[in-house]
Amino acid sequence: MLGVIGGMGPLATAIFYAMLTNKQKVSAEQEHPDIIIYSKPSIPDRSAFILGQSEVSPLDDIIHAAKILQGAGVSFIAMPCVTSHYFYENIAQAINVPIINLIDEIAKHALTNGFEKIGVLATNGTMAAGLFQKTFEKCGIEMLQLDSENQAELMKIIYDIKLGQHIKAEIFDELEEDLFRRGAQAIVLGCTELSMVIGPVLKERIDALDVLANTVLEMSRKTP
């Protein structure tokens, strides 16, 4: 049984559940894995804390959610929120069930596909914490990121999505193209809200939610 710490944000969690469902080829609904989703949008803003803009840490709330899922009997846990992986080690140490490290899984996906130079679109908190930078460096992957002006535009897109606003794909495409022009072989959609940007996929993307969904299904097949 899968446990999901959701609500960061709610729409990303809903899309993640839809991805899990749509990816499976089943002959009856009973063949889908059992899932407990704890959607907890009250968890404080992760980026604001990492950047020192808020003194309210989300860690206790995330651990609380993880322990509730553990108590419900889940076999492992997924967090469809990239920035929350800043707290990954603390969360993993606080519980007795495995929790997927999405940053590591994205790096594995990049290596499997032979990517050596990757652009990353993620929150200010994720970028300031160096989550992708540190992991990619260990893997020998060069990382590209937006300049400050385009990063500000990206953050506006992310928070607009959290508020349920429609995003013009053309604006998002311009951010991706900036990284492709600088030599990126692929772009990581390194914030789960970005899976909601609808538009043609002109070049290679690594969608964090898609990677997480594939990892969950693989673990489901291995977990008794």
pLDDT digits (tens, 9 = 90+) for 26-79: 788 887 889 999 999 999 999 999 999 999 999 999 999 999 999 999 999 999
Which strands, in side-by-side order, build the sheet including 205-207? 142-144, 117-121, 186-189, 205-207
Contact partners, residue 198, CB within 8 Å, separation at least 6 = 167, 169
d(CA 73, CA 92): 16
Q: Domains (ranges, CATH) in the chain?
A: 2-101+211-222 (3.40.50.1860), 103-207 (3.40.50.1860)
Question: What is the mean pLDDT of the segment spanning 135-145?
Answer: 96
Average model confidence (pLDDT) across the chain: 92
Mean per-residue pLDDT, 162-179:
82
pLDDT grade for 94, boundaries at 50, 70 and 90: very high
- Looking at the predicted structure, is the pLDDT value of residue 161 above 90? no
Cα–Cα distance, 10 to 163 (Å, whole number): 10
Distance CA 188, CA 122 (A): 8
Catalytic residues: 81, 191
Residues paired with residue 196 on neighbouring β-strands, in sequence order: none
- Where does the chain show beta strands of DSSP type E? 2-6, 35-39, 76-78, 117-121, 142-144, 186-189, 205-207
- What was the pLDDT predicted at 32? 83
- Whether residue 197 is predicted with pLDDT greater than 90 in this model: the reply is no
- Predicted confidence at residue 200, as pLDDT, reads 56
